[in-house]
Amino acid sequence: MCLGKTKPGDIKWTANYVMGPAGRVLADRLPKDFSCRVTLNGRALDVITYGGDWNGLPWPGPKWAHPQHAFHLTITVDLNNRGIETVESDYWSTTNDPSQFSSYVQDVESGELISNVTVTALRAGVTTTTDENGLFTLAIPASYWKGKSPPGPLETLMFSKPGYRLYEYRNFVLHPGVIWLDIFLEKGTGTVVRKNRSAHDGGTLDDEFLSLREGERESRSNNRGEIFSLNIEPAVYEGGWIMCKERGAKAIVKARNLKSVDIFWYSTGTGIGEMPPAKAGPMKKVSTSADGDTWEIEVPDLMATNFWAQGIDLSGKVIKSMDLGNVGWNIGP
């Protein structure tokens, strides 16, 4: 049930929907402001989150990140009404829960669900296919991420089906639990490359997209910079945070063709984008090899909601790393 409203107590209309296969509802339009209630067999479920974007407006972002002719709303519910449960501070290092990628794969133009799409995790070598409702779940064993420094190891997912362009989704961070994605395939030939820019989300508006014709390879300029990874060592995961627990913890960047590198962050509670981000640097280049350069800097005393590295390449272009999300300090007595 969705209740359109402009403020509490000012309900304009009520609409009821019954979900079809794959838990989806198709509607002509939703109001600008609304609340929602979800019931299963007469039992109300706790709504954890709900939200969408660009209702009734042309999608301004990359073509392959959103259905072209539909408003996309996602509602997340708690089937057991247990609320959001916290985990022990050592959960990330002790659990054997796998990383589970899950999504409905859709046609980018029509929004129709696509069955029999092959999904492959390149590094882990794990493969699955979407079911008749376009849904897949791909589990990668904990052995691929346990023991790695935050934010963890990266994985690339490939989506393929005859008649559609190959979809290559790079740089997912492996961590235990379910990682929900938005996957939209386009009919045709060639490859769509999507580079993930978040350590915790399955895709953001900061993701980088690249369209390649059939047989075309990604071009690389001799002066083009690239950041391969940003890690914090030593550090641990605690309840969704990357926490530094020892003085001297460093942010370490692996990159190539960069003239300088700094780290940036938004302090928790300050409002992202409401003021310029904090900055520390420049980072120090500590080694150079054929595989790239290593840059380091001690992590400042901070509690950050967003934390990333940013460099200037040999051509003067700004190059950003993945956003590590929540980063802070927790040193005991």
CATH of the domain at 113: 2.60.40.1120
pLDDT tens per residue across all 333 residues of the chain: 455 555 556 655 566 777 776 677 766 666 666 677 788 887 888 877 666 654 555 666 677 776 766 666 777 777 765 544 555 666 777 889 999 999 899 999 888 899 999 999 999 999 999 999 999 999 999 999 888 888 888 999 999 999 999 999 999 889 888 888 889 999 999 999 999 888 865 555 678 899 999 989 888 777 889 999 999 999 988 878 899 999 999 999 999 999 999 999 999 887 666 788 999 999 999 999 988 999 999 999 999 989 999 999 999 999 999 999 999 998 876
Last residue of a domain, one of 186, 212, 238: 212
> How many C-beta atoms lie closer than 10 Å to residue 67's C-beta?
17
- Give yes or no: residues 98 and 200 share one domain: yes
Residue 218 lies in a domain: no
Q: How high is the pLDDT of residue 91?
A: 74
- Give yes or no: residues 185 and 248 share one domain: no
- Give yes or no: residues 117 and 176 share one domain: yes
Residue 273 lies in a domain: yes
Residue 26 lies in a domain: yes
- Give yes or no: residues 109 and 146 share one domain: yes
Residue 66 lies in a domain: yes
- What is the tally of helices (H) and strands (E) in the chain? 1, 27
Last residue of a domain, one of 50, 78, 106: 78
- Give yes or no: residues 152 and 260 share one domain: no
For residue 98, is the peptide bond before it cis, meaning its omega torsion is within 30 degrees of 0?
A: no
DSSP strand pairing (43-53 vs 38-40) = antiparallel
Last residue of a domain, one of 25, 55, 78: 78
- Give yes or no: residues 95 and 208 share one domain: yes
| DSSP conformation class of 333 | -
Q: How high is the pLDDT of residue 229?
A: 92
Residue 84 lies in a domain: no
Residue 249 belongs to what domain range?
A: 226-329
The closest alpha carbon to 198, from 38, 285, 66, 320, belongs to: 320
Tokens 């075309």 belong to: 216
Q: How high is the pLDDT of residue 170?
A: 92
Residue 85 lies in a domain: no
Residue 150 and residue 237: Cα distance in Å, rounded?
7
- Give yes or no: residues 193 and 102 share one domain: yes
Cα maximum dimension of the chain: 64
Q: How high is the pLDDT of residue 1?
A: 47
| DSSP conformation class of 143 | G
Residue type, 4: G
- Give yes or no: residues 25 and 50 share one domain: yes
Dihedral over alpha carbons 66, 268, 146, 234 (to 10 degrees)? 140
- Give yes or no: residues 21 and 54 share one domain: yes
Phi, psi of 92 (to 5 degrees): -65, -30
Number of domains in the chain: 3
Q: Percentages helix, strand, coil for the chain, rounded to the nearest 5? A: 5, 45, 50
- Pair 330, 245: CB distance under 8 Å: yes
Residue 148's SS3 state is coil
Residue 221 lies in a domain: no
pTM of the full structure: 0.81
CATH code for position 256? 2.60.40.10
- Give yes or no: residues 144 and 256 share one domain: no
- Give yes or no: residues 233 and 189 share one domain: no
- Give yes or no: residues 176 and 263 share one domain: no
Residue 267 lies in a domain: yes
